């Protein structure tokens, strides 16, 4: 298992690779994949500074946390505002995108106003950001059921599976062994059957 230091180094390199990829696409510019604002890479703090976002949230697919294709550039405000929701839930339609951009700007304005107030009166009570006070709209967690969604034994490992498994959109439970796995085996480089890649393609490598 990788140490925190090794994971931090790998994350730094992945982040740099994401920025290089985006610069190559947009003539040296980097945009937030949610609100589509241009990101000023010189900013080291504030609501519009660069952050790296997971397209499929880590809470849904921990195995894709360190996969380059699952990473995108985002401004801090949008990344925080999105939370664990899917991209489609936030900006999947023109109407949702317009609403999300408005909320993003409102949240950034609140953040900047709070910082100005702290500079004037450091001991004044702090107000919470919109995203910190918003009511959670997280959907109910779905689960796969043994002998309904998948067989008792894994067709790959041969081990007996638990009675339920957490729902993961990128996993075909009839074929994939239980547990979160990346699309490709890190040792052999071979495609693992039962894991959808690219996400949303319907290709489970079978």
Which region among 29-33, 89-93, 136-140, 196-200 has the lowest average model confidence (pLDDT)? 136-140
Could you tell me the CA-to-CA distances from 58 to 54, 66, 190 in Å, in that order?
A: 7, 10, 23
CA 31/CA 21 separation, integer angstroms: 11
For residue 23, what pLDDT is reported? 95
For residue 52, what pLDDT is reported? 95
Please, which residues have CB within 8 angstroms of residue 154's CB and are 6 or more apart in sequence? 160, 161, 177, 178
Residue 67's pLDDT band (boundaries 50, 70, 90)?
very high
The residue to which tokens 């380059």 are assigned: 68
At 127-141, the pLDDT tens digits run: 555 555 544 444 556
Residue 44 has pLDDT above 80, yes or no: yes
Residue 3 has pLDDT above 50, yes or no: yes
For residue 186, what pLDDT is reported? 61
For residue 120, what pLDDT is reported? 75
At 162-186, the pLDDT tens digits run: 888 777 777 777 777 655 666 776 6
Residue 43 has pLDDT above 50, yes or no: yes
Q: Is the pTM higher than 0.75? A: no
């Amino acid at each position: 298992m990788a140490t925190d230091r090794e994971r931090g180094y790998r994350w730094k390199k992945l982040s740099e690779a994401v920025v290089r990829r985006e610069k190559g696409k947009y003539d040296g510019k980097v945009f937030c994949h949610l609100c589509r604002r241009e990101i000023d890479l010189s900013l080291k703090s504030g609501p519009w500074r660069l952050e790296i976002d997971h397209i499929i949230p880590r809470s849904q697919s921990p195995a894709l946390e360190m996969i380059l294709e699952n990473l995108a550039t985002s401004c801090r405000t949008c990344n925080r505002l999105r939370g664990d929701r899917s991209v489609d839930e936030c900006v999947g339609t023109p109407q949702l995108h317009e609403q999300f951009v408005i909320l993003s700007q409102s949240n950034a304005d609140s953040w900047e106003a709070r910082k100005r107030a702290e500079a004037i009166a450091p001991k004044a009570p702090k107000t919470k950001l919109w995203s910190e006070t918003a009511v959670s709209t997280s959907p109910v967690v779905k689960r796969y059921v043994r002998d309904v969604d998948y067989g008792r034994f894994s067709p790959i490992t041969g081990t007996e599976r638990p009675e339920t498994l957490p729902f993961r959109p990128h996993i075909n439970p009839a074929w994939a062994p239980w547990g979160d796995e990346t699309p490709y085996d890190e040792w052999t480089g071979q495609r693992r059957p039962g894991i959808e890649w690219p996400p949303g393609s319907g290709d489970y490598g079978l």
